[in-house]
Amino acid sequence: LKETLAGNDATGRAQTGTGKTAAFLITILTHFTRTPAPAKREMGSPRALVLAPTRELVLQIDKDAKALARHTAFTSLAVFGGMDYRKQQQVLKEGPIDIIAATPGRLLDFKRKNILNLRNVEILVIDEADRMLDMGFIPDVRRIIESTPMKGKRQTLFFSATLTPEVHRLAAAWTRDAVQIDVTPPQDITLSSIDQVVYITTDEEKYLLLYNMITKLKLE
């Protein structure tokens, strides 16, 4: 966060559960707060674009963005294939969207139809780049990136669970003077001194359960 909040590009080796989604969303929202949008904005012109390989991941990123931005005026939209085509199209036409989380195919489809443009993207996030490489999305991603401002005129955050030579090449091509961040956990993170317990509960009861555990165990 220290580097990304300062506006620097970053490449990170980060797996699910390491907090990268919160890190890049907090970076995006902080930038928006510090740098207000122009008074006149085009429809379908996001200030931040997050590319991810699957619909499930896009929906999760959008859900997290809405939660973190709940007490702000910033808006987000999930753009993905397979369903909700007209609904997504309508939202893009109704007003400015600040954050778009998208799969590459549907995003390119909207771009070809001039439903959205990427000329004003200030922060670009490429999430799970290794999976996009495996799924054959890189040509689409390259076309999308070429539609955004040049590197140096946008902030780029690049994440991958693995850093193969090909992923390294993509990161070097799409970022500028990026800081390297590695939050890969060690292979065996289960220590003998740790007791693991699973509680089946609901979202509503999570905090009550946590409170009761802290109270019962007299935790400080």
Q: What is the pLDDT of residue 187?
A: 60
| C-alpha dihedral sign at 45, 161, 181, 69 | positive
What is the arithmetic mean of pLDDT over 99-104?
96
- pLDDT tens track for 114-144: 989 999 999 999 999 999 999 999 999 999 9
CB 81 within 8 A of CB 41: no
pLDDT tens digits, 35-59: 988 888 888 899 999 999 999 999 9
* Residue 134 main-chain phi, psi, to 5 deg: -65, -35
Q: Which residues are paired to 78 by β-bridges?
A: 101
Instruction: Give the other-Cβ count within 10 Å of 53's Cβ.
Output: 21
